[in-house]
């Protein structure tokens, strides 16, 4: 279980996350949505202890991440597919990670099998495509058999087969009673695999509801319609063509 309470994160004058509160519960896939720069990745980095909150708290199973006795067994983390030394093979990357927790070689082979990396496990990670890098990141997240998973854009760069696999995987993980927090920009994908959706914009909570609730609130459209309505006022980076198409003035949008 992930609990974020009144979380604020500032970098100098910039406020990336602003009083954010939400809970990702066991047994559910919680989708985490927001425009670029909304504070999703910052929130996830605070949850896994890479950054400290300016105010508020983020806890996993009731503890601050840094206070978890065995982090890999509590939380599986995939923040960025580029979290691997390009000169190291996938197998050795996972083995080094496993050794921090005394996890055996057989479990490393197991997650390599689960993520379909057998044929490339001995290749240097620098030669991997984005999709293979994502699979390696997911393998690392599964390594400690954790009760909670934090996955930042896990389907980014995956082929259709891989997208389908991630969908099945996160559904299965949640069905086993695990907590899954997953960010994505792919609305159709989230509509298919998320139970609840947390939408943020400019660091603030815009919505925290189930997918059917959001769709109903938007007037019976799609999750995408609901998302676009909710984030219309908080998009920081918008292409000029989109402004013109939607009739927004330059002063309102493009910065």
Chain residues binding another protein by CB under 8 A are: 1, 25-27, 45, 48-52, 61, 65-66, 68-75, 77, 79-80, 82-89, 92-93, 95-97, 99-104, 107, 140, 144-148, 175-178
Nearer to another protein (CB atom), residue 73 or residue 185: 73
* Nearest approach, Cβ of residue 1 and another protein (Å): 5
Cα 158 to Cα 22, 89, 136, 183, 224: the distances in Å are: 28, 20, 12, 15, 21
* Nearest approach, Cβ of residue 252 and another protein (Å): 30
Nearer to another protein (CB atom), residue 139 or residue 200: 139
* Nearest approach, Cβ of residue 88 and another protein (Å): 5
For tokens 């809970």, what's the residue? 23
Nearer to another protein (CB atom), residue 52 or residue 240: 52
Nearer to another protein (CB atom), residue 73 or residue 238: 73
* Nearest approach, Cβ of residue 46 and another protein (Å): 9
């Amino acid at each position: 279980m992930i609990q974020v309470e009144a979380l604020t994160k500032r970098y100098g004058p910039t406020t990336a996350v602003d009083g954010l509160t939400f809970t990702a519960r066991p047994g559910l896939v919680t989708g985490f949505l927001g425009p670029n720069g909304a504070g999703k990745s910052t929130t996830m980095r605070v949850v896994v202890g890479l950054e400290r909150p300016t105010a508020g708290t983020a806890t996993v199973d009731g503890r601050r991440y840094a206070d978890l006795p065995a982090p890999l067994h509590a939380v599986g983390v995939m923040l960025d597919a580029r979290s691997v030394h390009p000169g190291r093979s996938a197998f050795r990357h996972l083995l080094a990670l496993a050794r921090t927790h005394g996890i055996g070689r057989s479990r490393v082979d197991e997650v390599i099998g689960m993520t379909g990396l057998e044929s490339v496990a001995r290749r240097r990670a620098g030669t991997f495509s984005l999709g293979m890098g994502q699979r390696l990141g997911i393998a690392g997240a599964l390594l400690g058999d954790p009760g909670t998973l934090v996955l930042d854009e896990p389907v980014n760069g995956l082929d259709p087969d891989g997208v389908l696999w991630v969908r099945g995987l996160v559904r299965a993980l949640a069905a086993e009673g695990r907590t899954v927090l997953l960010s994505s920009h792919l609305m159709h994908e989230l509509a298919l695999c998320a139970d609840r959706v947390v939408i943020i914009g400019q660091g603030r909570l815009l919505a925290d509801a189930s997918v059917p609730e959001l769709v109903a609130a938007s007037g019976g459209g799609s999750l995408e319609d609901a998302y676009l309505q909710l984030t219309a006022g908080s998009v920081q980076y918008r292409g000029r063509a989109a402004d013109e198409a939607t009739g927004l003035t330059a002063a309102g949008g493009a910065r």
